Amino acid sequence: MTKNTLKILTLGLSLFPSLVLADELNAANTAWVLTSTALVLFMTLPGLSLFYAGLVRSKNVLSVLMQCFAITCLVSILWLAGVYSFIFTDGGSLQKVIGGASKIFMPDLGINSLTGDIPEAVFFMFQMTFAIITPALIVGGFAERMKFSAMLWFSGLWLIFVYMPICHWIWGGGWLADMGVKDFAGGIVIHVNAGVAALVTALVLGNRKGFPTVSMSPHNMPMVVTGAGMLWVGWFGFNGGSSLTADGAAGMAILVTHIAAAAGALTWMTIEWLRFGKPSVLGIVTGMVAGLGTITPASGFVGPAGALFIGLVAGTACFYATQYIKRVLKIDDSLDVFPVHGVGGIIGSILTGVFAAKSLGGIGLEDITMLEQVGVQILAVVVTIIWSGLFSYGILKVLEKVIGIRVTADEEVEGLDLVLHEETGYHNL
């Protein structure tokens, strides 16, 4: 075993506590990560799928469901074909930048192969579900106007050129991990990353026909609330499972996740109530998602009081970010991916450096001051914004030249369900 391999497996003491060399399988940890894996996939299929599908107009409901389903399948194959290997294996002299190729198609994976004290197959699958939901989140930025073929190409290339390196830098023993960045369950790797890509995609594609003057209200709010509820429940696997242990660390991660979600929901609802006179169902569920996304990077490092503060800030900041993006800048990020996930991820990642301090109820900062930790967090956020922004833009412009990325105006008016899939979500009885 090389020094780099040992380093990767022991790095998780701060991010994934069970990623240490183990002589035997821990059944409790294995059972919990298996459960968490199912919960995280439940977040995408059906949680995110229903949440997004309800938010679009009825003529595009199937297109969004199809996009989330197809991304799940595509990412799963690419994960096996090498993305996992280049994130979580020893990259030798390139380790700070990218992992190695030794586990492409997992040739040596057996039922007794361990990562720490859980089966490597379980760790492989758990991390795959994170890779699945990240490009699926971006769907909200281009909903109702991107070609299906372009969506597939963009999602696959984005996974390879954006998600893979950033994930390795933070979770695979790369250079940001060496600097001590804290991202427990994906505030930077997932939410900042996807949020920036969604914003870039919205800008490159341009606004939907009629935006912002034509009403584009959600067509099915019960579907939205159902999907939101699934996201809330599934997020316990997202954050609680990231400890890779069935212990107090997982329990605390779930507790702070729940507190932040509740605080974010109530805060958004209250602001909306005061500003517009009535609290909306859409507002309370969006605030919940903002709270969840914002607590994600901090969930393994902070206590309940810190989670409450983070949730309050999430509900406030993400509400006003959404208003600013849509009403002032008039950018058609269709389902508010950047103002909710991007802004939430940025805020949560920075506040992790504050509320991880023992004096504020966190687990403590080792050999680093609060100010230094915040600086590391900001650096990781800025690097992610630049990398994701530039490569997302580059991929889109190449695809625009090669195959085209947007449906025609007439096709957009007709709706993507019929135009792209020759199906309709609803039939007149």
333 contacts 199 by C-beta, under 8 angstroms: yes
CA distance 354 to 332: 33
* Per-residue pLDDT, 366: 84
Helix (H) or strand (E) holding 54: helix 49-55
Judge contact between 171 and 86, C-beta under 8 A. Answer: no
Residue with tokens 């269709």: 334
172 three-class SS: coil
Given a cut of 90, is residue 428 above it in pLDDT?
Answer: no
The pLDDT of residue 248 is 95
Q: What is the DSSP string of 386-402?
A: HHHHHHHHHHHHHHHHH
The predicted pLDDT at position 5 comes to 43
Enter the pTM of the model: 0.93
Q: To which H or E segment does residue 305 belong?
A: helix 304-323
Q: Mean pLDDT over residues 394-412, rounded?
A: 98
Q: Which residues touch 274 (CB under 8 Å, ≥6 apart)?
A: none
- Per-residue pLDDT band for 367 (boundaries 50, 70, 90) equals confident
Of 22-31, 67-76, 341-350, 385-394, the one with minimum mean pLDDT is: 22-31
Q: How far is CA 186 from CA 127, 335, 396, in A?
A: 11, 20, 24
C-alpha to C-alpha distances, 166 to 131, 327, 426, nearest whole angstrom? 12, 32, 40
Q: Taking the CA of residue 259 as centre, how many other CA atoms within 13 Å lie in the half-sphere pointing to its CB?
A: 18
Say how far apart CA 35 and CA 18 lie, in whole Å. 16
Q: Which of 367, 251, 368, 360 is nearest to 299 (CA)?
A: 251
**Token couple for 39:** 């919960």
Report d(CA 225, CA 50) in Å as an integer: 9
pLDDT for res 22: 52
Residue reference for tokens 């802004």: 343
pLDDT per residue as tens digits for the range 96-112: 999 999 999 999 999 99
Q: What CATH superfamily classification does 29-421 receive?
A: Ammonium transporter AmtB like domains (1.10.3430.10)
b/e map 373-405, b = 16+ CB within 10 Å: bbebbeebbebbbebbbebbbebbeebeeeeeb
Query: CA 194, CA 346: separation in Å to the nearest integer?
Result: 11
Query: How far apart (Å, rounded) are the C-alpha atoms in residues 206 and 90?
Result: 41
What are the backbone dihedrals phi and psi of residue 258, each rounded to the nearest 5 degrees, phi first? -65, -45
What's the CA gap between 158 and 161, in Å, rounded?
5
The CB density around residue 372, as the number of other CB atoms within 10 Å, is 14
Q: Is the pLDDT reported for residue 426 higher than 80?
A: yes
Residue 7: is its pLDDT beyond 50?
no
> Could you report the per-residue pLDDT of 156-214, keeping only the tens digit for each?
999 999 999 999 999 999 999 999 999 999 999 999 999 999 999 999 999 999 999 99
User: How far is Cα 201 from Cα 203, in angstroms, rounded to an integer?
Assistant: 5
Is 348's pLDDT higher than 80?
yes
For all residues of the chain together, what is the average pLDDT? 94
Query: 48 vs 22, which has greater pLDDT?
Result: 48
The tens digit of pLDDT for each residue in 280-320 reads: 999 999 999 999 999 999 999 999 999 999 999 999 999 99
Q: Which residues contact 283 (CB under 8 A, 6 or more apart)?
A: 268, 269, 272, 319
Residue 8 in this model has a pLDDT that exceeds 70:
no
pLDDT > 60? residue 33: yes
The rounded percent of the chain whose pLDDT value lies above 70 is: 94
164 neighbors 146 (Cβ within 8 angstroms): no
- Measured CA to CA in angstroms, residue 5 lies from 10, 20, 49, 116, 182 at distances of 9, 11, 37, 12, 20
